[in-house]
Structure formats: C-alpha cells, structure tokens
Chains A and B, each alone.
Chain A
Amino acid sequence: MSETSLRLVWVYPDLLSTYGDQGNALVVERRAQQRHIPVSRIDVRSDQAVPTSGDIYLIGGGEDRPQRLAAERLRRDGGLNRAVANGAIVFSVCAGYQILGTEFVNDLGRPEPGLGILDVRSIRNDGPRHVGDILADVDERLGLPPLTGFENHQGNTVIGPSARPLARLRYGNGNGTGDGTEGAWSDTVFGTYAHGPVMARNPLFADMLLKLALDVHALPPVDEQWYEALRAERIAAATQQPA
C-alpha cells in the first residue's frame, strides 16, 4: 500500500466487463471504505498503460474476441506482469483467469499465449456451455467459507504444478476437466470461473484481498446481513439444481 491510499486497479473494463465485473471492484471498494481504509480506484482502458504500482488488480470476464484483444494488449504492455513481479495481488474471473495462464484457445480456434502469471492452461470444451450456480469448498489454506457463484463459460482449465486449485466443487463445472476443481491460485494471484459477481456472494474474498494488501490478519466487522441472506439463498439454489 502506498502512503496515502490503497490502489485498486480494474484492468480493461472496455474489453473484460461482460458479466457485471464492475461488481467485484465495487464490493472491494465498499468494504474498504466501511473500514475507513482510503481507496483509489483506477480503471485502465486497453489503450492505456497498466500501472505497476497498484496494490490489488481485478480482471474480469468477456467474450472470445475481446479476450484475445485483451491478451494481445496486456502482453505488449507488460505492466501487469511487472506488478505481479513486485508482489501485487491479482484477482481474475473467467476470461481474465484464462489470460493470466500460460495459454488459452482464442476466438479463431488457435492457441493464444497468456501472461504466464498463473500456472494454468485453458482449452475450449466442445460440449454445452457451463451455465448455473456453483458451490465449492475453498482451499483450506485460505481459511474461507464455501465459494458460491454463477458460472457462464465454455472453458476447460488444467492446473499446472506451481498453482493449486482455488476450491473443490460440490456443485457445478468449475475448471471443467472433471477433476472436481474450481479456479486456481498461487501466492497472491487468484483465478475463478465464478462470477455473480463473486465478491457480492463471497465478501470474505474481498476482505482476504484487503488483508493481503494491508498485511493485516483481521479487519473490523461490517454488516453482513444481506450478503449472508444472499449466500444462503444461492447455496440452497446450487444444491437444488439438476446435477
């Protein structure tokens, strides 16, 4: 964190903001403000340089063509890679998650190099699109309650040796490879197929990013009433939908 405020960078909303991705930025911002943590949010368009001095970077979901354009521009820019090398925190969703990996299949059906920030590799599944509520138990090292989210994607992601699954599925397709995993993480870089947006249903993920950025172990409590009610409803919905 810089001396004056926590810098929250939202990467490429012009390309990767199809599934309410702004929600994750809004939840992180809100929960910081409720703790009187000054936040400055920086929205970076794909014709602008990604700042390297951010604390938390968010990168969201998008359609296939914008995903390729985003990967091309992020590789050329190099800012996100430099930020991660400096220890920045990155939270990515869906298309953004695939871009952080080593490779994904682009809209032209060809392998597209990712940023190599997270050891995952993605292909397009030939079956039906994965759409619906998911529920998964988060890696116990992260100490978080179950992950609830809504997935809406056509990707299959394989996790390499230097990353770990973010969560183990109870319901849903997640990484889609049949190994029961959802998302991936290593160190300060996180990826998930859950939107919803995910922070609205899992506000403790937002708190985890804040704690990492501030290097603290606890944050003052905030009113969780509506988050808890939504979580309970969506967890019930995930368990009731056809498997």
Chain B
Amino acid sequence: MAGNSGPLSPRAKLAVTAGKAAAAVSRAAGRGSGSVIGGKVALKLDPDLLARLATHLDVVLVSATNGKTTTTRLIAEALRASGQVVSNALGANMPAGITSALAGGSEARYGVIEVDEKYLAGVARDVTPKAIALLNLSRDQLDRAAETRMLAERWREGLSGTDAVVVANADDPLVAWAASSCPTVVWVAAGQEWKDDAWSCPSCGGVLQRPGDDWYCGDCGFRRPPPTWALSGDYVVAPDGVAWPIQLQLPGRANKANAATSAAVAAVFGVAPKVALERMYAVQAVAGRYDVVPYQGRDLRLLLAKNPAGWLETFSLIDGPPAPVLLSVNARGADGTDTSWLWDVDYTRLAGHPIFVIGDRKLDLAVRLEVAGLDFRVCADVDEAVRSAPPGRIEVIANYTAFQDLRRAVGN
C-alpha cells in the first residue's frame, strides 16, 4: 500500500486490509475472485474509502448499456502509454467491486473504471473523475423496471455540475440528452444500430425525426450535437480532420465505435490517437468475450449479447452463411426474468445460417425462430449442438448467465 500510505487514514488502511482478508476467504471458499465481497467489507468499515482510494488517481469512468467492459479495457490499454493503470477489468462495476479494484492499484497513475449505469452519478460524485465516457443507453433487464429514459434522467441530473470532460455518443439521443447538461462535452459520432428506445424526444416527448444519421425533435428543437470525433467506416476521424485506421483484433462495428470513443478519451490525457489505437490492437478478448475456444475438435467463437441492441450489433459481426450459429438464452436473475425482449430482436438476420438452440429458455427462442420463418434445431446441450453443427467455426451467441454456463461447459 506504499502509494496510498500518505492519504489513507488508519481506518481506511484497516478497511483495505479487512477487505483483502475477506476477499482471500471468499477465494478460498471457491466463490470467484472475491473482489465484490472484499469491497463490501471494506466499504462497510470506511464508507469514504472509494473517494480516498481515488484521490491520487486520474480517473476515467465508463458507462453504457452495452460495450462498457470492452471500452474500459481499450481505454486502459491506451492510457498505459503514459502511466500505470488500475482498472476493474473483470466487470465488477458496482461500488464494492470498484473499491476492491482500486485498492489493488496503489502505484497507479490512472484509474479506468467501468460503472453500472444505475450507479454512475454516485460514483462520479465520490471519485471526481477527469473524464467520463458515455456510450449508449437501451432497454435491458425489463423486469427490474429501470426505464431507459429514467436512467438518462439520473445521468443528466447527477452529472450536471461535473468537472469531468464528458465524452459522449452524439448518435444516441438518450446519451446526448443526458450529457447535454454537462459543462464540458466532447461529442463523438460513434453510431448506434438500435433505435427503438429513442423515437421519443427525451426532452419533450415529441416524435424524433431521424433522416439518415441525423436526428432532431420537431417540437422542441433538441437535436444531434455536432461531433468533434467521428467513427467513419474503419476509421476514426480526429478533431484535426486526420482519419486514423482502426485495426482491432476485436470484431464488429460496435467495437470500432468503442475504439473511437476510447481514442477521444485518451486524447483528454494527452495520448495521441496513433499511440492509443496501436495499443488497443493488442486486445484479443475481454472477459472471455470474442474468445475462440477449441472444443470437441471444433472452433467456437463466444459472443455475449445481453439485450436487443447487443444482439443487433452481434448479428452484424458474425461470419456470413453457412457459418453455423449456436444460440443460448437464459432468464435467471442476472438476465432479467422477462424474455419478451426476444421479440424485439430481428432474427431474420440469421436466415441462411444453420441454427442450433440451447439454454433454459430454448422453447421461447424456438417459437421466436419459428415465427421468423427460420429453420433451426433445438438441442439438449452444447455437446449435442456442436456434434450436430455442419463444418466451420461455430458462432456462439448467448445472454449473460447462458454465456457463463457456456464458458464453463467448454472449459474457457
């Protein structure tokens, strides 16, 4: 705890130590990394610990419905160009997990922190970040009744007086509305395929007009802010007009958007786009996502899609037909128990792929695919699906707990 010994009070030091002990016990008991339990113990002993742990760091917060874990990783890689970084890289993104991650970073200069959407305003108050990246907001876990617009409103109120440079997606009306109350905003044209949570003006409720890539409200005049950074195909265009190629190992448009936002964040800390982007190219997989795993003599690419916006972005990055596709959907607590979102996803995009269906809610998915007019096969488990799949790398798309199940099943 060398670097922290100055600012940390005896009580804070005790809290960190107690937290680490609890985490070790949790690990020994086989309950995962223990980071959340350790953080909970530490925060209970010293509620201001998070703020104190952050005082010596230049903090970046990253929040969104989708892409926050990957973007956190990309920003962390970029900032390592100019100093040591501490990050909650495993996606423990509520205050306890964040506290635990920061407690391990006493030597670091930068804290790059993924924050759950619901906790963003509070964490931003505690850690006085230098930058906040806001990527997108869309429907997720419907049974928790966290209305998407309500989340945007909480962001808007919670961040209105922030001293941070807010780096926000100009193409998501909800994000644009949330960020438009902040004093300093860097707008990034990062795109968003999913539009069905933002047909209403977040400001006045009018119907948004969305010609091409633009959007505006005909009633109150709220409109897309002019961006200074832009994702343009395979390039990110910096404010000086220079277009830098994005050559990630991570697939898909959404990850190019994450890289564009990450480059804009890196620039806030003086890291040039060329340097930042080259460091991002090293990232191959993030917490198992995008990993290609050999299993039973086949290659499986593991893709996580938690909600309609995530499924839409995932469909656009998979190999074309006849690549086999394996879909798995659960509806446990962490997924949200309401499966109605399946009907918001346009599964006709999978036409031509051999499709295999597993997971707790495979029958919901079967009816969904039947109504979409697709051919598919319902399988008992991943083994049966892999055995049945025709040749080629299998694209595996799963929602949250189904993804964890799959990682365990294939030994990833």
Contact = CB atoms under 8 A, between A and B. Distances in A.
Nearest to B147: A63
Contact of B338 (A19, A27, A233): A19
Contacts of B341: 20
A39 to B, nearest CB: 13
B363 A229 contact: yes
Contacts of A229: 363, 366
A69 interface: yes
B340 A196 contact: yes
A27 B371 contact: yes
Interface string B334-376: 0001111111100000000000000000011011101111000
Given A19-B142, A23-B340, A152-B338, A226 B205 contact: no
Contact of A152 (B139, B142, B342, B366): B142
B145 A30 contact: no
A185 B207 CA distance: 31
Contacts of A197: 340, 343
Nearest to A72: B205
Contacts of B370: 223, 226-227
A211 interface: no
A132 B340 CA distance: 12
B185 to A, nearest CB: 25
Interface in A208-243: 223, 226-227, 229-230, 233
Contacts of A196: 339-340
Given A197-B340, A200-B368, A226-B363, A152 B143 contact: yes
Interface stretch (A10-18, A155-163, A170-178): A10-18
Nearest to B195: A14
25 contacts: A14-B207, A15-B199, A17-B196, A18-B139, A19-B338, A21-B340, A23-B340, A23-B342, A26-B343, A30-B371, A45-B199, A63-B149, A64-B147, A65-B149, A131-B337, A152-B142, A152-B143, A152-B145, A200-B368, A200-B371, A201-B367, A226-B363, A227-B367, A230-B364, A230-B366
Q: How large is the interface on B (under 10, 10 to 19, 20 to 34, 35 or more residues)?
A: 20 to 34
B343 A22 contact: yes
B302 to A, nearest CB: 25
B340 A15 contact: no
Closest 6 CB pairs of A and B: A23-B343, A20-B340, A20-B343, A14-B199, A47-B207, A230-B363
Q: How large is the interface on A (under 10, 10 to 19, 20 to 34, 35 or more residues)?
A: 35 or more
Contacts of B339: 20, 150, 196
B200 interface: yes
A150 B339 CA distance: 9
B313 to A, nearest CB: 19
A17 B199 CA distance: 11
A151 B147 CA distance: 16
A36 B143 CA distance: 37
Interface in B193-211: 196, 199-200, 205, 207
Interface of B: 139, 142-143, 145, 147, 149, 196, 199-200, 205, 207, 337-344, 363-364, 366-368, 370-373
Contacts, number: 87
Given A14-B199, A227-B367, A65 B205 contact: yes
Contacts of B200: 14-15, 66, 69
Contacts of A63: 147, 149
Nearest to A22: B343
A56 B371 CA distance: 19
A233 B361 CA distance: 9
Nearest to B360: A233
Contacts of B139: 18
A20 B342 contact: yes
Contact of B363 (A20, A22, A66, A233): A233
Contacts of A227: 367, 370
Q: Which one of A65, A69, A152, A233 has the greatest number of beta carbons of chain B within 10 Å?
A: A152
A195 interface: yes
A46 interface: yes
Contacts of A35: none
Contacts of B337: 131-132
A197 B342 CA distance: 9
B204 to A, nearest CB: 10
B340 A150 contact: yes
Contacts of B205: 65-66, 69
Contacts of B145: 129, 152, 154
Q: Which one of B149, B199, B342 has the greatest number of beta carbons of chain A within 10 Å?
A: B199
A21 B344 CA distance: 8
Interface string A133-155: 00000000000000000101010
Interface in A11-59: 13-15, 17-23, 26-27, 30, 45-47
Nearest to A48: B207
A226 B362 CA distance: 10
Contacts of B207: 14, 45-47
Contacts of B368: 23, 200
B343 A200 contact: yes
B371 A26 contact: yes
B18 to A, nearest CB: 35
B143 A226 contact: no
A154 B145 CA distance: 10
Contacts of B338: 19, 131, 150, 152
